[in-house]
Amino acid sequence: MKESPETCEVSTSPGFLQKGYSMTALKEFLKKDLVQYIIKRVLMFIPTLLLISILVFFVIQLPPGDYVSAHIAALATEGEFVDADYAASLREDYGLDLPVWQQYIKWVKDIIWTPTDSAYYRLYGSHHNWKFSFAYGRDVWSVVEDRLGLTIGVTFIILLFQYVVSIPIAVYASTHQYSAGDYISAFIGFIGTAIPNFILAIILMYLSYVWTGNANVGLFTQEMLQNGIHLYNFGDFLKRMIIPIIVIGTSGTCGIIRSVRAQMLDEVSKQYTLTARAKGVSERTIVMKYCFRAAINPTVSGLGGVLSSLFSGSTVTAMVLNMQIQGPVLFKALQCQDMYLAGAIVMVQAVLVVIGILFSDIILAFLDPRIRYSGGGR
């Protein structure tokens, strides 16, 4: 049977051809090494985070006792006594009477999805139950959300400072080896690594008070916290960020300078740089196009670890500077054995670190053409 003219016309219409062309282009795009690698890494997020959640939950459970016991002991020191029946009801309400593995399953299941008819949804209007924070007296996610945006913002600013300052210094020190600038950068690097962050924070706060009459403690003034943060407060916020940037960013900056400088010195002495000079390639092209791209690889690959250290590794410094970020909240949660709050903060940190590692791998693929993700040579 012959096809009708209408059928032929539909099958060869521009829209049909365009759709077929788009599908072919999509299939070709998905065959690329980098795209396949990104897809695999994204799919690995779920088992990675699941494993991290197991480790986090069981590590938090290691200290003896639980929050209810600590809370009852604290009430006893204040002269208030709780009977055994009330303590048992509290443990039952929060699932603390269950085995540890059942507590973990209940915790993960409620985070993934909480039904509409649950008391948590009726109270907070959310399908993701991160449980109740014992230390702060409200739901966990509201405690995390209060400081999450500011923590990410402060982390990004400090990370930007580290790379913007350290990379040019490292490149200069490597291309001017044993010069005065090289010795100065090495001296500053050793001093920045040797001095503890909280000691440097106290020194800078004292100097700030002596010179300006204000120690600039905290990221916001009391007036800003009472009246809200507005655009015209941004200048004051940046002024108060100077000490945290110097204190927290200095240690990371020193490490990056030493790493990049060592890698650059190794690259500039290799055979391909000598060959490029013999062919008349400019020194700037050799340094920036070839040596720097290879030398920056270890620094880029450590992006995830840097994010982790900035997110919660500066807890003592944040407490000294009265910074409203997640570090002090995590410290208080661990002190009070508030396992749900501590677990939520560490899980958020883990997600950011995994995302940071993925970004670092993608950047490495663009920086170093020798990297292949499909396996084998070409």
Domains and CATH numbers, the chain: 43-112 (no CATH), 142-367 (1.10.3720.10)
Mean pLDDT along residues 21-45: 69
Q: In sequence order, which residues have a C-beta less than 8 Å from that of residue 192 and are 6 or more positions away?
A: 250, 251, 253, 254
Whether 115 contacts 121, CB under 8 Å: yes
pLDDT of residue 5: 46
Question: With contact defined as beta carbons under 8 Å apart, do 202 and 193 qualify?
Answer: no
Instruction: For residues 67-78, give the mean pLDDT.
Output: 72
Strand partners, 139: 132
Q: Is the predicted pLDDT of residue 313 greater than 60, yes or no? A: no
So what's the pLDDT on residue 1?
46
Q: How many angstroms separate the CA atoms of 166 and 163, rounded?
A: 5
CA distance 309 to 146: 20
The number of beta carbons lying within 10 Å of the beta carbon of residue 50 is 11
Measured at the CA of 144, the angle between CA 331 and CA 310, to 5 degrees, comes to 60
Lowest mean pLDDT among 28-32, 78-82, 184-188, 257-261: 28-32
Query: Within its chain, how far is the Cα of 308 from the centroid?
Result: 5
pLDDT band with cut points at 50, 70 and 90 for residue 79: confident
Q: Which residue has the higher pLDDT, 21 or 245?
A: 245
Q: Helices 45-60 and 33-43, interaxial angle, to 10°? A: 30
Report pLDDT for 80: 75
Average confidence (pLDDT) over 332-344: 83
pLDDT reading at 17 higher than 80 = no
What are the C-alpha distances in Å from 256 to residues 163, 262, 348, 378? 8, 10, 26, 33
DSSP labels, 61-90? T-SSS-HHHHHHHHHHHTT----HHHHHHH
**Cα 137 to chain centroid, rounded:** 26
pLDDT tens profile 86-108: 777 777 766 777 888 888 888 88
Mean pLDDT over 54-74 rounds to 75
